[in-house]
Amino acid sequence: GENVEQHPSTLSVQEGDSAVIKCTYSDSASNYFPWYKQELGKRPQLIIDIRSNVGEKKDQRIAVTLNKTAKHFSLHITETQPEDSAVYFCAASMGGNQFYFGTGTSLTVIP
């Protein structure tokens, strides 16, 4: 089956700096890659996603890049704010069947 690895497990940045979280996947058949933000005690919420026919997608301060050849994708958050502090999960799916999640990155934005 698919194996998704996520790094780093923890990340601290100063407010206003950028944060980058990286994930790799093993199954070349995976074609959908969402990113979720989970605040303490709350449900995961989708923040951005990318499909395999696209190399990059941006939504305001958040962007995701995908390298299908290398089987890795990254989340980029620019101009970080304290409210960006949360756990971020990447996931990979083939056709919306099983979703395989990374182990999460705990992001702390220091004011």
- Preceding peptide of 44 cis, ω within 30°: no
Q: Out of 19, 44, 63, 73, point to the residue binding another protein (CB under 8 A).
A: 44
Q: If binding is defined by CB under 8 A, does position 97 make contact with another protein?
A: yes
Q: How many chain residues touch another protein (CB under 8 A)?
A: 23
Overall residue count recorded for the chain in this entry: 111
Secondary structure of residue 82 in the 3-state scheme: helix
**DSSP tag of 24:** E
Q: Out of 77, 89, 92, 109, point to the residue binding another protein (CB under 8 A).
A: 89
Q: If binding is defined by CB under 8 A, does position 96 make contact with another protein?
A: yes
Q: Out of 21, 63, 73, 104, point to the residue binding another protein (CB under 8 A).
A: 104
Q: If binding is defined by CB under 8 A, does position 53 make contact with another protein?
A: no
DSSP run (H or E) holding 67: strand 62-67
Cα distance from N-terminal residue to C-terminal residue, the chain = 41
Residues that bind another protein (CB under 8 A): 6, 32, 34, 36, 42-46, 49, 89, 91, 93, 95-104
